[in-house]
């Protein structure tokens, strides 16, 4: 097993939604192991540029691209720009996602559509766009960011849960279609992780989440990034179509 390691030197990675939170942590984890990294961002160019600076300080090359993951044509443009810059793409992390929470009786059609288009259609857009360059490169690893909510459901998050559950079925199908080309696809399903999205939750809600988590604490973005690093590396070369929960035991 000595030839299998976490070294990503010479690898090219794209992380959607990589300007903050989990996406940023993944970008920095990959670059710390030698990968050149591209990230997309929806709105905050300043945050994206800061991530690029941090990556450069680690000795890796980087680029940031403005993109809405629900835009099919822009997804193709982003993949093309990455390949034009570095000649290939080895790793895709579909991380971009949003929430528009609300009970079914109060949820608007727009709230439903926004979440499905960003969280689920976005996965299709980038996974489809990256297929041909990965096939040309004779291999690749696609990591789709799911959620335990996609496995367990959650009141007030039917749109989010549906998008993340659909992501699982898509990933398993994609893994079967592209396995013969040495392209792997897996899902990482986080539980309660400390991010900007969870920081807005009421303290009582947070304590309740911790109580139902066997490890008794929230996770951090670096713990998600570590699993993504594993899935991007040769250490996971025989893993595809899998869903890995990183939830402190919440969904046991």
- Contacts of residue 38, defined as CB under 8 A and 6 or more positions apart, other chains included, come to 12, 13, 14, 15, 62, 63, 64, 65, 78, 81, 82, 85
Q: What is the chain's Cα-based Rg?
A: 17
Helices assigned H by DSSP within 88-220:
109-116, 122-136, 149-152, 158-178, 196-199, 203-211
**Strand order in 243-246's β-sheet?**
62-66, 36-41, 12-15, 91-94, 140-145, 183-190, 243-246
Query: Any catalytic annotation for residue 238?
Result: no
Marked catalytic residue, from 41, 160, 174, 192: 160
Query: Which tokens go with 101?
Result: 């929470």
Query: Which tokens go with 5?
Result: 């390691």
- Contacts of residue 238, defined as CB under 8 A and 6 or more positions apart, other chains included, come to none
Beta bridge partners of 66: 41
Closest to 75 in 3D by CA, of 115, 114, 17, 136: 17
Cα–Cα distance for residue pair 178/53, rounded to 1 Å: 34
Catalytic residue ranges: 160
């Amino acid at each position: 097993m000595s030839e299998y390691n976490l070294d990503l030197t010479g690898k090219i990675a794209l992380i959607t939604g990589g300007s903050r939170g989990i996406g940023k942590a993944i970008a920095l984890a990959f670059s710390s192991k030698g990968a050149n990294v591209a990230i997309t961002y929806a709105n905050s160019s300043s945050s994206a540029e800061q991530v690029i600076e941090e990556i450069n300080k680690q000795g890796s090359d980087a680029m940031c691209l403005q993109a809405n993951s629900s835009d099919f044509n822009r997804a193709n443009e982003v993949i093309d720009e990455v390949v034009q810059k570095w000649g290939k793409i080895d790793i895709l992390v579909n991380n971009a996602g949003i929430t528009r929470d609300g009970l079914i009786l109060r949820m608007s059609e727009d709230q439903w559509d926004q979440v499905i288009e960003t969280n689920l259609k976005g996965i299709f857009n980038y996974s489809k766009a990256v297929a041909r360059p990965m096939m040309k490169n004779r291999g690749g690893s696609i990591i789709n960011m799911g959620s335990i909510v996609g496995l367990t459901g959650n009141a007030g998050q039917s749109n989010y849960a549906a998008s993340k559950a659909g992501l699982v079925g898509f990933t398993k199908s994609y893994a079967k279609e592209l396995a013969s080309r040495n392209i792997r696809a897996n899902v990482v399903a986080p539980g309660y992780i400390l991010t900007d999205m969870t920081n807005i939750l009421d303290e009582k809600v947070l304590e309740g989440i911790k109580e139902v988590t066997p490890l008794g604490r929230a996770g951090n973005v670096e713990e998600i990034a570590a699993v993504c690093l594993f899935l991007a590396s040769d250490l996971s070369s025989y893993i595809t179509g899998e869903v890995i929960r990183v939830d402190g035991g919440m969904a046991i």
